Amino acid sequence: MNAEIERFTIGRDREMDLYLAQDDVLGSMAHITMLESIGLLEADELKALLAQLRQIHADIQAGNFVIEEGIEDVHSQVELMLTRALGDIGKKIHSGRSRNDQVLVDLKLFTRRQIRAVVDDIQALFDTLQQQSERYKDVLMPGYTHLQVAMPSSFGLWFGAYAESLVDDMMMLQAAYKQANRNPLGSAAGYGSSFPLDRTLTTRLLGFDSMDYNVVYAQMGRGKMERNVAFALASVAGTVAKLAFDACMFSSQNFAFVKLPDECTTGSSIMPHKKNPDVFELTRAKCNKLQALPQQIMMIMNNLPCGYFRDLQILKEVFLPAFAELRDCLQMTAYIISRIQVNTHILDDARYDLMFSVEEVNRRVVEGIPFRDAYKQVGLEIAAGEFTPDKQVHHTHEGSIGNLCNPQVKQLMQEVVEGFHFDRVAEAEEKLLHS
């Protein structure tokens, strides 16, 4: 039974800890540099430990790192490797910290690294959407309300709308990143340490914007950071899911607005004419799953008082893989959007003639007819089957068919991305690894 208890309590922790391995090494490098500065390590000990940790980091990046059988977690594995290589010196690295603040800092380093990768993928999709928006800005398509044909839209508007949606998603992601980029190291088990830890130093060494100052709050932040980041990821996923739904619908025979790349569709086992939008259907499902992530995290951590509890271990299983899942969806979506074929003759079909009724009402208003009267006139003509559409549209205000404002949206995206200040983190990590 003891083996079963161990299996139950450890669960997938060793598997999940592999996600955090390189971050655990970075956190240890900063921690021991700080220990040397306050006299708990000798200079030659620090030099030897840093050299060994850099080698472990290189092994991790090369895919050569494993958590051995019988070793509980990544923290124990790294310390074991240091002790094997350096003897008792390796046993000194845990002074002034707990596995609680160790995993906290690992999670924050991991999260900010993953957010940067997600940002890169969002930018790639954003650029693709903007390029397609400009390419097809003069191709009209029906706009819908209540799934009823409503008013003229354009592919410029459709692609551009999703590009701008990603800007708002990026704002949420930036806010989540700023919370993740605060240093919990030094909070130990949640109540600090009697050692004179220099938390400002580890904050600077790891490139954090600031520290989580109150040590109790640093521990309370476990789960809160994951939840808020999950909300940001869910926002991105919501945009991609909606785009995938649109594309699936618009590619169906009853719409025939777009044609998806052949390699992103599959056929039927019995119907030779079928081209099913499988990649976008899976994208939609995966993104809808990601939109449930904040609720999963909330239910795991709900009603826990302050302090550490083993419940929080389960957060890793739902949180750590989420970044790769979202990145897959972003990359697949960018691939399809860059190769999508647009029907440039949608409006040749008479079923869309009535969507130009608003244009006719507005034309009469410009001529001096009161809006209510113009609306009634056109309505009567439609009822009598006498309405003849003028399919030329003249929308010029900001954000309309004739004035997409794509450069302004691009500038807004650039400002948001620059606000992450990824360069500061990259510089700090480079110094730790190579100075």
Q: Annotated catalytic, 268?
A: yes
When computed from its CA atoms, the radius of gyration of the chain, rounded to whole angstroms, is: 28
Question: Which of the residues 210, 252, 268, 394 is marked catalytic?
Answer: 268
State the helix-helix crossing angle for 278-291 and 293-301, rounded to 10 degrees.
30
* CA distance linking residue 111 with residue 179, whole number of Å: 10
Q: Are the C-beta atoms of residues 264 and 335 closer than 8 Å to each other?
A: yes
Q: Annotated catalytic, 98?
A: no
Q: What is the pLDDT along the chain (435 residues), one digit of tens a residue?
A: 587 887 787 778 888 999 999 999 999 999 999 999 999 999 999 999 999 999 999 999 999 999 998 888 999 999 999 999 999 999 999 999 999 999 999 999 999 999 999 999 999 999 999 999 999 999 999 999 999 999 999 999 999 999 999 999 999 999 999 999 999 999 999 999 999 999 999 999 999 999 999 999 999 999 999 999 999 999 999 999 999 999 999 999 999 999 999 999 988 788 888 889 999 999 999 999 999 999 999 999 988 898 888 899 999 999 999 999 999 999 999 999 999 999 999 999 999 999 999 999 999 999 999 999 999 999 999 999 999 999 999 899 999 999 999 999 999 999 999 999 999 999 999 999 997
Phi, psi of 276 (to 5 degrees): -85, 135
Domain-located, residue 339: yes
Task: Output the pLDDT for position 1.
Answer: 59
Phi, psi of 418 (to 5 degrees): -65, -25
Runs of H (alpha helix) within 11-154 = 13-17, 21-37, 43-61, 74-86, 99-135
Same domain as 424, residue 295: yes
Domain-located, residue 336: yes
Note the pTM of the prediction, 2 decimals.
0.95
Domain-located, residue 365: no
Same domain as 216, residue 283: yes
Domain-located, residue 383: no
Kindly state the helix (H) or strand (E) to which residue 144 belongs, with its residue range: strand 140-145
Domain-located, residue 398: no
In the three-class reduction of DSSP (H, G, I as helix; E, B as strand; rest coil), residue 138 is classed as: coil
Q: Which residues contact 402 (CB under 8 A, 6 or more apart)?
A: 393, 394, 395, 396
Same domain as 239, residue 168: yes
Same domain as 173, residue 68: no
CATH number, domain with residue 284: 1.20.200.10
Domain-located, residue 24: yes
Q: Which residues contact 56 (CB under 8 A, 6 or more apart)?
A: 25, 65, 78, 81, 82
Same domain as 127, residue 64: no
Total structural domains in the chain?
Answer: 2
Task: Output the pLDDT for position 61.
Answer: 95
Same domain as 167, residue 50: no
Same domain as 342, residue 205: yes
CATH number, domain with residue 11: 1.10.275.10
Task: Output the pLDDT for position 268.
Answer: 75
* CA distance linking residue 389 with residue 393, whole number of Å: 11
Domain-located, residue 15: yes
The residue from 92, 113, 142 where one domain ends is 92
Domain-located, residue 359: no
Same domain as 241, residue 158: yes
Residue with tokens 């100052």: 213
Handedness of CA 315, 317, 323, 326 (dihedral sign): negative
Q: 3-state SS of 99-120?
A: HHHHHHHHHHHHHHHHHHHHHH
Q: Which two tokens stand for residue 295?
A: 């609720």
C-alpha separations of 317 from 34, 197, 313, 320, 430 in Å? 31, 32, 8, 6, 29
131 CB-side CA count, 13 A: 12
Same domain as 69, residue 206: no
Same domain as 233, residue 322: yes
**Domain, as residue range, for 297:** 121-132+154-186+197-348+409-434
Amino acid found at 225: M
Same domain as 206, residue 59: no
Question: Which of the residues 146, 273, 397, 434 is marked catalytic?
Answer: 146
Task: Output the pLDDT for position 226.
Answer: 97
Length of the chain equals 435
Same domain as 204, residue 57: no
